[in-house]
């Protein structure tokens, strides 16, 4: 199989305009930030999510051509392999190509591992691991036959790199997603690059949901070496970096974005 010819790199531009990008779970939080970033770069963006926002609540972004751009939203459940395949087919029908897939759909409520039901655990693993595999398989089938190949970015979490108490199934699924990224990068090279971003604790604008309000959010942020939580824009910027020619030789990588990590617990215990 022939490899795509490397193109001369223009350091003055990071031009992604005209690319077709699929984002799963792109209606809020990190997914929404990713959608807005690629729309702003002039990309055609197709969003697959279980629910779709109405026309008035969808993001509208000014692209590099000065025109107002918005994404196409499709109601799909990517935990189902057939629906994942349909999402890729719909993107092909709209744009005639698929350049980039960002597997962002995921998440999990807290649950005690000792009492979590089998149905709950299966659902969490399907959403956070198998859905990404389903979409990636469908995308790879298309990308292998495109002259320019394609790219896949999986959004994982530091929960897949460290203990994840009260979200054990989620952490296990995210660890699996990192491993899956590495394996697919080897199998699908050279036409398709596959990379991963493991995000740390993020402020997605829902402090009451996750941190008990602004005061709780501030206390958590103080534990991060950089002094703040990550944002959807931070993760979107890394997606754009991986998608750009600047990362043309990067595949099978897991880019950890956690603001420096977390202070080990024994430091606090020793001072108390």
Q: Could you give the residue numbers annotated as active site? A: 170
**Rounded CA separation 211/221 (Å):** 10
**Rounded CA separation 252/169 (Å):** 23
**Rounded CA separation 232/236 (Å):** 6
**Per-residue tokens: 144:** 């292998």
Helix ranges, the chain (H)? 29-40, 81-95, 118-125, 131-143, 168-188, 207-210, 214-221, 232-243, 265-271
231 contacts 202 by C-beta, under 8 angstroms? yes
**Rounded CA separation 52/235 (Å):** 22
First to last CA, the chain: 61
């Amino acid at each position: 199989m022939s490899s795509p010819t490397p193109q001369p790199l223009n350091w003055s531009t990071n031009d992604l305009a005209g690319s077709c990008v699929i984002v799963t779970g792109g209606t809020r939080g990190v997914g929404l930030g990713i959608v807005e970033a690629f729309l702003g770069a002039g990309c055609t963006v197709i969003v697959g999510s279980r629910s779709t926002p109405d026309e008035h609540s969808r993001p509208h972004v000014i692209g590099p051509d000065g025109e107002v751009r918005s994404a196409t939203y499709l109601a799909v459940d990517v935990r189902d392999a057939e629906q994942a395949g349909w999402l890729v087919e719909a993107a092909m029908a709209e744009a005639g190509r698929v350049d980039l897939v960002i597997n962002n759909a995921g998440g999990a409520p807290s649950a005690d591992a000792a009492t979590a039901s089998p149905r709950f655990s299966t659902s969490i693993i399907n959403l956070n691991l198998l859905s990404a595999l389903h979409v990636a398989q469908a995308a790879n089938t298309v990308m292998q036959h495109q002259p320019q190949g394609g790219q896949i970015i999986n959004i994982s979490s530091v929960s897949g790199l460290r203990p994840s108490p009260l979200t054990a199934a989620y952490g296990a699924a995210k660890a699996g997603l990192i491993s899956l990224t590495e394996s697919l990068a080897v199998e699908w090279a050279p036409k398709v690059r596959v990379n991963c971003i493991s995000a740390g604790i993020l402020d997605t604008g829902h402090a009451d949901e996750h941190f008990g309000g602004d005061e709780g959010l501030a206390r958590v942020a103080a534990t991060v070496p950089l002094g703040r939580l990550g944002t959807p824009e931070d993760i979107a910027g890394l997606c754009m970096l991986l998608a750009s020619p600047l990362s043309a030789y990067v595949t099978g990588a897991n880019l950890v974005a956690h603001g420096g990590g977390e202070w080990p617990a024994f430091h606090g215990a020793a001072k108390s």
